[in-house]
Structures are given as C-alpha cells and as structure tokens.
C-alpha cells in the first residue's frame, strides 16, 4: 500500500480534494491523508459541493493539523504553503503551486478541482 500526504495551508480546499481523489482513484492500494500548516478547522462547503459533482463525498472530512500526522510517506505533495510546511519523510516530494480556489467563481473552482484530479491520477501512476 502506498501512503500519500497532501498539504495546504488551511486543509480546507485543495488538499482535501486531492485526498478525496487519491482515495477514489487508488482504492485499497492507497492510504491518502491531508493536513494543513495552519488548519482552518472546517472544510470549505464549496469543496464538498464541487467534489460531490464528481461523485466524491467530503462531508465526513475534517480540517487537520500537520501535528496530527505521523509516519513515512511514499509521496508528500504541498500545495502552495511554502515556508510554513516542515520537512516530512517521503520518498517523493513535490509542490503543486495551485491557486487557492476559495474565492473563485464556479468555473474557476471546477478548473482547480479538475487540475487536482489530473495531477493525482498522474502521481498515483508514477508511484
């Protein structure tokens, strides 16, 4: 089983969507987690809504801190948190400098969601 961690600042949008896609695409072969360098404590309702459009339910997710995450990973993907992200043990590390869709309109939010889906699919094929 591959372990993958997705990290963004609030753990409310991008990293939550990536975790959802990784679980969906990877199934039982992937343990996908997400966390934030400064978690907001809540998932953005837009993330829940726009992921539901593609059949992925984030309603049971919660915003988590990096302090709650432990162990080694096959991949750690950061999403624009820059210096706020500590080093985490991983075979593969990558930064996806994705825009935070929090204030985007519907089309913009969907575009970020779809970009994340494509990147997650490519990452899992690479692992």
Q: Which of 7, 8, 51, 112 is catalytic?
A: 8
Q: Which two tokens stand for residue 11?
A: 């753990």
Q: Which of 85, 112, 117, 124 is catalytic?
A: 85
85 as an active site residue: the answer is: yes
8 as an active site residue: the answer is: yes
Count of alpha carbons within 13 angstroms of residue 74, beta-carbon side: 15
| H or E stretch at 122 | helix 106-126
81 as an active site residue: the answer is: yes
Q: Which of 30, 81, 116, 120 is catalytic?
A: 81
Beta bridge partners of 95: 78
Q: What is residue 66's three-state secondary structure?
A: helix
CA distance 76 to 95: 9
Q: What residues are labeled active site?
A: 8, 81, 85
């Amino acid at each position: 089983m591959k372990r993958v961690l997705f990290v963004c600042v609030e753990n409310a949008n991008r990293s939550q969507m990536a975790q959802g896609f990784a679980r969906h695409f990877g199934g039982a072969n992937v343990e996908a987690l997400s966390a934030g360098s400064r978690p907001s404590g809540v998932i953005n309702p837009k993330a829940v809504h726009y992921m539901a459009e593609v059949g992925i339910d984030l309603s049971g997710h919660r915003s988590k801190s990096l302090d709650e995450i432990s162990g080694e990973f096959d991949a750690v993907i950061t999403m624009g948190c820059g210096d706020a992200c500590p080093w985490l043990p991983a075979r593969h590390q990558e930064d996806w400098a994705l825009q935070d869709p929090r204030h985007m309109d519907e089309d913009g939010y969907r575009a970020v969601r779809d970009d994340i889906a494509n990147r997650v699919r490519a990452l899992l094929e690479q692992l």
